[in-house]
Structure 1
């Protein structure tokens, strides 16, 4: 079984343009993200778009030694399908590049659970019921199932959000497995990069607390100990699937 991580990235984000190319601690947020994923030991593929605005993402990823697949900007499902075919994956971990502090051990736990289930119709995630902070999200699923979704999915939400065809069980036989955090409940915290206030928090965490060296439990403990940090982006609402 060849399992690979596919992370989606683009420069034309609406709330905070080119957000993954912004920097903290002397590195872009994309660089932090990819470095942490490398620690899983799995191959990591950057799925970006053919839009010329994404050339800096291609250049940075290539410079860091990560393969890049370029596909549709809006039909992200087809972009993932193309990356799967090009790299001949049988299993996929989907993450998003706006998670610069994603914990590699959290991702590894999800992959291990997926392997243990040993079924092509299983979808494993840690955010079906949220206990982790935003920014630690992953999904693990069969490459064959996503390729099937790419062939038959017609709803715009399925084309844009990649995995809704799977976790909404449109095929009728998917088995959904949630992996909760055994460290408690960090679901109120945002460690993801979507707005300027998210950037203020992440920049502070990295530049003042060396957050790039911390795991999920340590990050949550830090936020618990410093409520003024959590307050920086506590008001930010996550965009809904149809937005």
Structure 2
């Protein structure tokens, strides 16, 4: 069976909310919530936290290890190289990319993206091309061969500051997308970037039926508590919301 590894990119720097991923959230930290959920993804063989190799990131490494994740340090600005190094370290055949600012990442959605890639025999699978899920459930799965090619061919700049731009456009690679519920949910903001997002997530976690609640439970909680949904409404990206018919 292919060895499937979830790699979570994480760093301390954040101009809008410094140290955001180590902020308390529920019974742990925002990063802890992400790592717990990644460990629960069906078919995942391991979770690795990919951190910069610059000073000041040991608190992230310690938190990752506390939650059973391995740690790989690589270039801060060449995130593609950091991911590639983590994948090589973990002997991955398939890599699932998750970012550390998504504490509501859904293991079942991630598992469905992995299954879609496998069943389609694709080089790359995602669930945001185009956006059809709430912002904060985004993930991408790619073969090690595709990641190898990207690491070798991507040029400095956006192609290396992010992980998948080269894979998303390279000729000869096959790509598939997992469609989500669409509609108004596409405009939901379940990620952590601004202070308002942290307020939103803390209020939401206080009313969830359990900390590992899936996306449908999150929607139900927000429908029952519309005031929570309004907390970070001003930070939503209108470009993610489909035009009305």
The question of whether the paired residues in 2 share the 8 Å contact of 1:8 and 1:97 is answered with yes
Residue matched to 2:166: 165
- The alpha carbon displacement at 1:175 in A equals 2.4
TM-score, normalised to structure 2, is 0.90
Unaligned stretches of 5+ residues in structure 2: 240-245
- The alpha carbon displacement at 1:237 in A equals 4.8
**Aligned in 2, Cα 1:183/1:152: closer, same or farther, shift over 3 Å?**
closer
**What secondary structure is seen at the aligned counterpart in 2 of 1:37?**
helix
The question of whether the paired residues in 1 share the 8 Å contact of 2:52 and 2:76 is answered with yes
Residue matched to 2:53: 50
The question of whether the paired residues in 2 share the 8 Å contact of 1:4 and 1:89 is answered with yes
How is 1:193-208 mapped onto 2 (pairs within 5 angstroms)?
193-208=192-207
**What secondary structure is seen at the aligned counterpart in 1 of 2:134?**
coil
- The alpha carbon displacement at 1:183 in A equals 7.8
2-structure distance, mates of 1:220, 1:131: 14
**What secondary structure is seen at the aligned counterpart in 2 of 1:70?**
strand
Structure 1 consecutive aligned stretches of length 4 or more whose deviation exceeds 6 Å: none
- The alpha carbon displacement at 1:190 in A equals 0.8
- The alpha carbon displacement at 1:230 in A equals 1.7
Residue matched to 1:96: 99
RMSD: 1.8
- The alpha carbon displacement at 1:210 in A equals 4.6
Residue matched to 2:74: 71
- The alpha carbon displacement at 1:217 in A equals 1.1
Deviations 1:66-88 (A, max 9, x none): 10000011100000010111111
Deviations 1:90-137 (A, max 9, x none): 111001011111110010011111111124xx3211111112111111
Unaligned stretches of 5+ residues in structure 1: none
1-structure distance, mates of 2:141, 2:66: 27
Aligned match of 1:84 in 62, 87, 109? 87
Residue matched to 2:151: 150
